[in-house]
Each structure stands twice: as C-alpha cells, then as structure tokens.
C-alpha cells in the first residue's frame, strides 16, 4: 500500500494460476504467474524469494535487463564462494555477483543500497543482532579479544514454509528447544562478515538459536564485551546519535522490557540495554516476517 509503489506482477511455484488475495486475503487481487513467464523489463525492481540458489538465473536475467534485484534468500549475503560450500553445502553458480551485491540492512547501509543493482536481504537473526551492535562497533566500543555471546529465540516461521515433523503443532506447542548450538548456524558467517567490515577484525561469535512455540517474532539477548567500563548513559547516547532519525528503530526506556508482542506485524526493531561492569547486555526484538 505504499503510495510510491505499483505492483505489476507476482509469482508463485505452488499457487500458479491463482490470485494473490485468494492465498493471502489481505493482499491485492493479482494473478500469480510462473516466475519463468515474467518480463523483468516491465518493472524497476523485482523481489526474489526462492529457495537458496533457485533464483540465480532469474537474478541474472533481471540485472541484464537493467532491473534492480532485492533477493530474500541467502544467495548474496556472503562474499566468498567458499563460505557457501562450508555453511550451505552448495557451489555458488554466480560468484561474480557476490562482489557487487550490497548487504541490505537499510539503517546501516542506506547510502550503498541507494546505488545498488543487487541487494542481499539480511537474515532474520542477523537483523536482530547487527542493528544493536554495529553502532557500538563503529564507535570503537567492542573488545574484540572476547567473544560476543548471543542467545536468540524465534517463532516457527523462521524455519520456512516447508512442512517438517519437528515443526508440527503437536511437536512445537508447549515446547522450547535450542538447536545448532555454538558455532553451527549458517547465519554466523553473515554476522562475522558484517562486523569485520566495521572493525577489520574477525569477531568470535558464539550463537545459540532457540525455537519458540509461537508463529513469528525474534527476541535476541546479546552479551557484548566493552573495551572498558562505559555507563549506560554513554551507550544510550551512541544509539541516540545513530538512530534518532530512524523511524523503525526504537530504543526503549530502561524500565521497558523488550517484548515480541510490541513488534509483531510491524517493521520495528526495539532495543534495550543493561551494563554490568565491562559487559553490555542487549535485548532486541523484531518481526522476522516484516523487518
């Protein structure tokens, strides 16, 4: 419903021939076509949301026709083809595009995004983690000799739409579990690369995600090592300077808890902090299906 955006077409692999509002009643009445049948020359920007590597051919065609691409998969988030072999167990079919893709975290990379032809939409967990940490790293607050320890909880939609036994209602309801503990999750290199671009040092990230028995939302707790004893007031001042004009970043008052309920169905990222000596404890929340 943005006044400056017109939707020319939408595609679907599973609902081809149906209308978008039949699948999502709140959406416009647009016929769903096969992605191979569209003409990307008709639009200024195309959003591609396909399983990893499935949209590379479509991306190439769109870029060749002069159309900008915003890709929602992980296909262009990492800079090295070797990283895709290690973390996704795939050989990247367009390594040359990794060099030109811009990481699409708008509050951090807005100026680069404006001039980019290929934008890599960030992962859900990294969005909730990089938004509160990058401003502090840019202000030289990060003690890189110590690890960043992150504990994130996500609703089941973060695992995608493909049915899996461990995501069935009877498996998830009344349960809470950790998975891919420590150094196993594929979002780790994405966070490492973005932080390394800021600090020129590879950070030691220890990341444990958890599956919540809720449909959507991510709440992250980040144990961020400070170089020295900074006060909460000083840290809040850094956030205020960076995010004062960002309508979708909300720095909460000290007494306000970060809550999934307050961000669901919004583009907000809420952030709060607590300082314990030389350790900053950050909590953040986003809606993984919007932000």
Catalytic positions are 124
Both tokens of 9, joined, read: 């077409």
Both tokens of 242, joined, read: 């960076």
Residues 260-275 as b or e (16 or more Cβ within 10 Å = b): bebbbeeebbbbbbeb
Given a contact cutoff of 8 angstroms between Cβ atoms, the answer to whether 45 and 116 are in contact is no
Which of 284, 86, 125 is closest to 208 using CA atoms? 125
Given a contact cutoff of 8 angstroms between Cβ atoms, the answer to whether 219 and 150 are in contact is no
Count other C-beta atoms under 10 Å from residue 74's C-beta: 22
Residues 160-192 as b or e (16 or more Cβ within 10 Å = b): eeeeeeeeeeeebeeeeeeeeeeeebbbbbbbb
């Amino acid at each position: 419903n943005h006044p400056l955006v017109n939707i020319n077409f939408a595609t679907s692999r599973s609902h081809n021939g149906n209308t978008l509002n039949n699948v999502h009643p709140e959406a416009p009445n647009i016929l769903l076509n096969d992605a191979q049948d569209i003409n990307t020359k008709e639009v200024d920007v195309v959003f591609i949301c396909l399983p990893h590597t499935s949209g590379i051919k479509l991306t190439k065609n769109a870029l060749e026709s002069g159309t900008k691409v915003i890709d929602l998969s992980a296909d262009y988030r990492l800079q090295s083809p070797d990283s895709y072999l290690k973390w996704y167990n795939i050989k990247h079919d367009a390594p040359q595009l990794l060099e030109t893709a811009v990481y699409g975290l708008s509050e951090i990379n807005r100026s680069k995004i404006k001039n980019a032809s290929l934008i890599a939409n960030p992962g859900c967990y990294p969005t909730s983690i990089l938004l509160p940490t990058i401003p502090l790293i840019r202000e030289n607050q990060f003690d890189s000799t110590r690890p960043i320890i992150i504990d994130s909880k996500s609703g089941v939609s973060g695992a995608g739409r493909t049915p899996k036994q461990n995501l069935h209602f009877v498996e998830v309801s009344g349960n809470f579990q950790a998975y891919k503990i420590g150094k196993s999750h594929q979002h780790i290199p994405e966070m490492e690369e973005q932080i390394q671009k800021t600090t020129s040092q590879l950070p030691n990230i220890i990341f444990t995600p958890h599956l919540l028995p809720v449909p959507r939302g991510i709440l992250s707790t980040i144990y961020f090592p400070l170089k020295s004893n900074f006060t909460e007031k000083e840290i809040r001042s850094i956030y205020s300077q960076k995010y004062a004009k960002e309508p979708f970043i909300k720095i909460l008052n000290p007494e306000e808890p970060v809550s999934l309920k307050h961000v669901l169905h919004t583009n907000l990222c809420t952030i709060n902090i607590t300082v314990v000596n030389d350790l900053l404890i950050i909590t953040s929340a986003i809606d993984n299906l919007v932000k």
